[in-house]
Amino acid sequence: MYDVVIVGAGIAGCACAHFLARYDLNILVVDASYDIATGTTRANSGIVHGGYDPEPGTLKARFNIEGSRMYPGLARDLGFDFRQNGSLVVAFSEEERPNIEKLYARGITNGVEGLRIIESDELHEKEPLLNPAAVAALWVPTGGIVDPYGITLAFAETAACNGVTFKFDTCVSDIRRAENNWELIIDNPEGTSQTLEARIVINAAGLNSGLLNSYVSKENDFKITPRAGEYLLLDKIWGNAFTSTVFQVPTAAGKGVLVSPTVEGNLLIGPNAVAREHTYETQTTNEGLAQILKDASKTWVKIPAGDIITNFAGLRSTCVESPDFHLGEPADAPGFFNICGFDSPGLTAAPAVGKYFAEIISERLQAAEKPAYIDHRDAPRHLSTMSDSEIALAVAENPAWGRVVCRCEQVSEAEIVEALRSPVPARTVDAIKWRTRAGMGRCQAGFCLPLTIELIAKEHGIELTQVCKGSHDSRLILGERGFLNELPHISMGGAC
């Protein structure tokens, strides 16, 4: 019997786990996937929004502002990459100016601090590569950029250090009322199933949160629609091309795309918004990518398309019927806490929602605070950002710091091994990539993949052929030499 079972190890679930871990509760986080943050959390713009966008009075407005204010402190205490680089919403003609003025007014109503409309000269001085046609912009100094995986990992690791259990490859296929508790039916990857009991369930299942809600409630019948956003990522040589996150002002023609530096030092362009049928459809399309390039050229006229290193798509879990967040208990399912329709600004809002839920649930369960609660996490060390003397000392203590595995991102073996031994261990090549950046650079893992596979196999005591890219069906190597019996067929040639 668990006090709390959190379904979903994305930013929302892990934020809840982190804040609930302060209390003397028996907490389990389950996720259908192989790692934290594999769904909506992973592939998005990584923007901490100022809060000028949501309609005043909505849950989105409230938790956006609260969350945005929590970020600087959390980044410091939990050691994840966050930078308050500021956002710009740019008007590219005088006709677009009223739209930024409208956003300014809305931001003031929502309580966003430091908003200002800046004029052409200041704007172009700030962003020299911006389309010269830009006339003015809304400047949002509280806007920031974050590594969404990084903050989710920080939440998960502190939660695990404080006693929260994580279970992956664990799919919840049904939830039933059992007296005052909840019974969760769990499907294991081996094809077996088991039942878990929990006093409280938090539904942080992202794209599947609508489905999960339907197991317990007739009250809310909201449908979560996966909406894909496609992105292009530019080489680090363009990481400083823009210092702020540059939005285009929303117009009747569309919301526009953003151009933004990332905390890792690349430059991100995107997203669009395309409805998808299934929750796994994270494919990109030629048309989508071409459209993004075209739309982004409004912001940056000469995008160096030759320096694009990768493209990807993420899904947003949008509730089309009522676009606000759906937070809290349905009237017919007390003890079942929804976090549904958690699309933008979900990433920004998540810490505030997690804190809010922890307060309500701890009170409901009359849980006391733990006497020994770990509220700090050292930022993972990265070779690429360490000083020479830090590196020298690290190698003296552990020679693995001196062995570079990923040459493009300068990731050492020690960093990879640390990720494999984390309180929430990385188990796959993708998990290593998200945690250490190994394989994320220009060669896109061409050189380091063979080494990473070996390290994963060695640390987890498995065969090279069992190592997966991500899910347990994504084996990277199909067999050892000799597993195929076919002999070459010779064509003697000479035919006409």
In the range 409-438, which residues lie near another protein by CB under 8 A?
410, 412
Pick the binder of another protein from 180, 192, 366, 485 (CB under 8 A). 485
Q: What does the alpha-carbon distance between residue 66 and residue 353 come to, in Å, rounded to a whole number? A: 9
In angstroms, give the least distance from the CB of 457 to another protein. Answer: 10
Question: Residue 464 in contact with residue 453, Cβ under 8 Å?
Answer: yes
Residues 179-208, one symbol each (x = binds another protein by CB under 8 A, - = not), give: ------------------------------
Question: 94 vs 388, which CB is nearer to another protein?
Answer: 388
Question: 369 vs 486, which CB is nearer to another protein?
Answer: 486
Q: What does each C-alpha distance from 167 to 27, 177, 188, 345, 473 come to in angstroms?
A: 11, 22, 10, 27, 18
Candidates 18, 49, 376, 489; catalytic one: 49
Q: Does 369 bind another protein (CB under 8 A)?
A: no
Residue in the block written with tokens 């929303």: 250
Pick the binder of another protein from 94, 286, 366, 461 (CB under 8 A). 286
Question: Residue 46 in contact with residue 347, Cβ under 8 Å?
Answer: yes
- 3-state SS class at 228: strand
CA 450 to chain centre: 26
Pick the binder of another protein from 57, 320, 390, 462 (CB under 8 A). 390
Site for another protein in 118-157 (CB under 8 A): none
Question: 183 vs 459, which CB is nearer to another protein?
Answer: 459
Among the listed ranges 18-26, 98-106, 280-288, 360-368, the one in contact with another protein (CB under 8 A) is: 280-288
In angstroms, give the least distance from the CB of 299 to another protein. Answer: 19
Pick the binder of another protein from 190, 331, 371, 483 (CB under 8 A). 483
Q: Write a three-state SS string for 95-148.
A: HHHHHHHHHHHHHHHHCCCCCEEEEHHHHHHHCCCCCCCCCEEEEECCCEEECH
Among the listed ranges 76-84, 188-196, 295-303, 481-489, the one in contact with another protein (CB under 8 A) is: 481-489
In angstroms, give the least distance from the CB of 464 to another protein. Answer: 5
Question: Residue 164 in contact with residue 21, Cβ under 8 Å?
Answer: yes
Residue in the block written with tokens 């976090």: 339
The candidate with the shortest Cα–Cα distance to 195, out of 209, 177, 212, is 177
- 3-state SS class at 330: coil
Told to judge if 49 belongs to the known catalytic residues of this protein, a careful annotator would answer yes
Question: 173 vs 474, which CB is nearer to another protein?
Answer: 474
In angstroms, give the least distance from the CB of 240 to another protein. Answer: 13
Q: What does the radius of gyration of the chain's CA atoms come to, in whole angstroms? A: 24
- 3-state SS class at 414: helix
Q: Does 167 bind another protein (CB under 8 A)?
A: no
Q: Does 444 bind another protein (CB under 8 A)?
A: yes
Question: 1 vs 496, which CB is nearer to another protein?
Answer: 496
Among the listed ranges 64-72, 95-103, 188-196, 391-399, the one in contact with another protein (CB under 8 A) is: 391-399
Residue in the block written with tokens 């962003």: 127
- 3-state SS class at 137: strand
In angstroms, give the least distance from the CB of 343 to another protein. Answer: 21
The candidate with the shortest Cα–Cα distance to 283, out of 274, 270, 294, 292, is 274
Q: Does 385 bind another protein (CB under 8 A)?
A: no
Using a 10 angstrom Cβ sphere, with 0-12 exposed, 13-18 middle and 19 or more buried, the burial of residue 486 is: exposed
Q: Does 450 bind another protein (CB under 8 A)?
A: yes
Question: 131 vs 466, which CB is nearer to another protein?
Answer: 466
Pick the binder of another protein from 12, 205, 212, 289 (CB under 8 A). 289
Q: Does 491 bind another protein (CB under 8 A)?
A: yes
Q: Which residues pair with 74 in a beta bridge?
A: none
Look up residue 342 and give its DSSP letter. Answer: -
Q: Does 1 bind another protein (CB under 8 A)?
A: no
Q: Which residues pair with 184 in a beta bridge?
A: 175, 196
In angstroms, give the least distance from the CB of 251 to another protein. Answer: 27
Q: Does 276 bind another protein (CB under 8 A)?
A: no
Among the listed ranges 210-218, 276-284, 354-362, 418-426, the one in contact with another protein (CB under 8 A) is: 276-284
Q: Does 323 bind another protein (CB under 8 A)?
A: no
Q: What does each C-alpha distance from 263 to 62, 149, 184, 245 come to in angstroms?
A: 26, 12, 38, 11
The candidate with the shortest Cα–Cα distance to 2, out of 230, 172, 169, is 172
Task: Give, rounded to a whole angstrom, the gap between the first and last alpha carbons of the chain.
Answer: 75
Report how many residues bind another protein under the rule CB under 8 A: 74
Q: What does each C-alpha distance from 159 to 90, 101, 255, 402 come to in angstroms?
A: 40, 42, 37, 31
Question: 117 vs 293, which CB is nearer to another protein?
Answer: 293
Pick the binder of another protein from 90, 212, 383, 416 (CB under 8 A). 383
Question: Residue 399 in contact with residue 7, Cβ under 8 Å?
Answer: no
Q: Does 381 bind another protein (CB under 8 A)?
A: no
Catalytic positions, written as ranges: 49
